[in-house]
Amino acid sequence: MLERCNSLDDLLLQVGNPLMLWFFQRRSAFMSQRRMKNYFWRAQIQSDPDGEYLRLHQAELESRTWSYIWVDWTCMPQSLRLPQEEGYFHRYLQTMSDIIRNCGFMYFYPPFEPRLWIFYEIAKYKLTCVGGIAMTSDIEPFLKHIDEMPKTGVQATLEKHKHRCSYDRDRQYLTSWLELLTQTYPGVELKRYEGTLVVNGEMHTFTPFPQWNDGKYSQGQLA
């Protein structure tokens, strides 16, 4: 795919082509790396210049016997998104949830901040994957907030703990997903864009998913 692109813009704006920006890497090659491009909310460019978080991953993988490691390069651009990034972001929404659900999830987060995208990422994995997720110190606040949602409601939990993201429509999208995740179990009828979930003839409601075709995705940037 990359060989067909002459620039980064070409890659971001490939209409109609699935985004599969991931690859398998030999375990030995990954373990020998000294740097890894890493993005957090703390920095706009490179938030792990000394390879601290790379070494944490390598230490975690040291005892594993895997021959290959699956590297996912599909980062979700945050604010401010350029038009090219906007197109890429919109298309990647189609596969992001499946990747979180179907892949092994390894993480090392900086000190806690109530970031809504991170909260969704952890909630999606915890609520849809078999085997659960370990209570480690860097995600302990997120897991506690996940357990609150079925009791107090998604929007009340988000408001209480001030989970935030850069764009209002991102927040709408993630709120809808979280409401859905806390209500879903086998044998249901789901209508995402109507905001209804029918279980044994009983209707439940959640905030309808935004209709992206009605306008540009990133509208109403939050301060």
35 compared with 169, residue with greater pLDDT: 169
159 compared with 5, residue with greater pLDDT: 159
**52: in domain:** no
**167: in domain:** yes
Helix, strand, or coil (residue 35): coil
Asked whether the predicted pLDDT for residue 44 surpasses 70, the reply is no
**198: in domain:** yes
Least confident of 11-20, 50-59, 103-112: 11-20
**54: in domain:** no
So what's the pLDDT on residue 73?
64
Asked whether the predicted pLDDT for residue 85 surpasses 90, the reply is no
Number of domains in the chain: 1
* Spatial CA neighbour of 173 closest among 63, 96, 106, 66: 96
Asked whether the predicted pLDDT for residue 32 surpasses 70, the reply is yes
Domain that holds residue 199: 2-21+74-214
Task: Count Cα neighbours of 35 within 13 Å in the Cβ-side half-sphere.
Answer: 6
**57: in domain:** no
Phi/psi for 160 (5° steps) reads -60, -45
- Confidence label for 12 from pLDDT (cuts 50, 70 and 90): low
